[in-house]
């Protein structure tokens, strides 16, 4: 699991992440042409989504968790069936960079 602490209130972080199109502002790995099915807004901070790629659906578990005055965003990264170690490490690095971008965006 990859995570980042954001020094903003939970409601603000969760609200931003559930806005349609917000992922385009911070998630470089989101292909705008790939359809995405997202969990509905909920009181538990669940942001799970499935990216529908040609021939493959990729399930992405994601959570927003209260942490004191701030918020933790947690992203579970699974190794896809055909990924080697190098590809998985590159994917993890890209997600980490995206989470840092999210933090910078929300903390201003």
CATH at 74 = 3.30.530.20
Residue 85 belongs to domain spanning: 2-107
Give the model's pLDDT for residue 31: 60
Total domain count, the chain:
1
Three-class SS of residue 77? coil
Give the model's pLDDT for residue 70: 98
C-alpha span between 20 and 16 (Å, rounded): 9
- Name the token pair of 66: 């209260």
Give the model's pLDDT for residue 56: 87
Give the model's pLDDT for residue 32: 66
In this predicted model, what pLDDT tens digit does every residue of 27-53 receive, in sequence order? 987 666 788 899 999 999 999 999 898
C-beta of residue 59 within 8 angstroms of C-beta of residue 78? yes
Three-class SS of residue 33? coil
Give the model's pLDDT for residue 33: 76
Which of 98, 107, 105 lies closest to 2 in space, CA to CA? 98
Low-confidence ranges of the chain (pLDDT < 50): none
Give the model's pLDDT for residue 20: 85
């Amino acid at each position: 699991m990859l995570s980042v602490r954001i020094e903003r209130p939970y409601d603000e972080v969760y609200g931003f992440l559930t806005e349609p199109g917000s992922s385009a502002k911070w998630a470089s790995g989101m292909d705008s042409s790939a359809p995405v099915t997202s969990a509905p807004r909920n009181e538990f901070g669940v942001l799970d989504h499935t990216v529908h790629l040609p021939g493959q659906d990729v399930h992405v578990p994601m959570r927003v968790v209260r942490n004191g005055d701030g918020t933790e965003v947690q992203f579970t990264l699974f190794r896809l069936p055909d990924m080697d170690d190098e590809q998985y490490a590159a994917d993890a690095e890209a997600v980490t960079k995206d989470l840092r971008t999210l933090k910078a965006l929300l903390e201003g």
